[in-house]
Amino acid sequence: MVREQHRVRRRPRTSPRDGVLSNVLGEFLDPIDALFSVFYSVFFALLFTLSYEFLIYRGATESGFSGGYGQRLALVTLGVVAGWGIIEGVSYLLGAVLTRSERRRVLQAVQTSSSDDEAASAVADELDFILEPITSDEQRKALYHDMLTYLRQAEPKAVGLQRADAVGAAAVVLLYVVAVLPSLLPLLLVRDDFALAIRVSNVVSLLVIFATGYTWGTHTGTSPLDQWLLG
C-alpha cells in the first residue's frame, strides 16, 4: 500500500493541460505536486498571521507590538516555510531514488525468474493497481507477457542520486519560498500598523489559495470553483 501511494504521487511527468505551471515546473515536478507545495507554503503563513490576528482581537493592542514586529514575523515565517521546503526537497530526493530502486528490483525479478508466469507476476505486482480498472485479466496477462521480451534484454540503470534529482529538489525548495512571498509583503511594507498588515496578509494568502484551487480545477479538467470549494 505504501509503495502504491508513493508511485501515484511521484508519477511520470505529465501535462494534461498546457500552462505556465506545466511549462516551468513540469520537467522536474508533477503539476499536482507543485500545487500541493504552493498550498502548504501559503497555509503556513496563514497559520502564523491568523494566530496573531486572534491575539489582537483578544485584547493585544497595536501598541503592544514594538516597531518592526511585522518584519520579524515575516522573517520567522519565511524561515519556517524554507525549512519545510528543505524537508520536502529531501523527500523528493529519497522518492526519486526509491522509484529507481523499485524499477531495478522488478527488472532483476524478471531477468532471474525461472518461468514466464513468474516474471509476468512480478510485473503484475507493479502495474495491476493502475491497469486493473481499465483492462480485463486476459488483456493484462497478454500485455505483461509481451513486455517480458524487452525487459529481459534491458540493462539496469543506476539507482543513486542524479543531477536531475538535485535540480528537482531545489525546485521544490524554491517553490515553497516564492509561493509565500506575496503573503509576507504586507508585513514588510506596512510598518506602522501591525494589525492592518496582518489582515492584508490574510487576504493575500486566501487569494493565493483560491488561485491554487482554481488552477487545480483547470489542470484536472473539472470546474475550478468546485475544486476550490471542495478542497
Q: Could you tell me if 212 and 35 are in contact, meaning their C-beta atoms sit under 8 angstroms apart? A: yes
pLDDT by residue for the chain (231 residues), tens only, comes to 333 444 444 444 444 444 544 554 556 677 788 888 999 999 999 998 888 877 776 655 444 455 667 888 899 999 999 999 999 999 999 998 998 898 888 888 888 888 888 888 888 888 888 888 888 888 988 888 888 888 888 888 788 888 888 988 999 999 999 999 999 999 999 888 888 888 999 999 999 998 888 888 777 766 655 545 555
The CA angle 173-174-179, to the nearest 5 degrees, is 105
Q: Which residues contact 84 (CB under 8 A, 6 or more apart)?
A: 40, 41, 44, 176
Instruction: Say which amino acid occupies 68.
Output: G
Residue 198: φ, ψ to 5°:
-60, -45
All three cell numbers of 28: 522536474
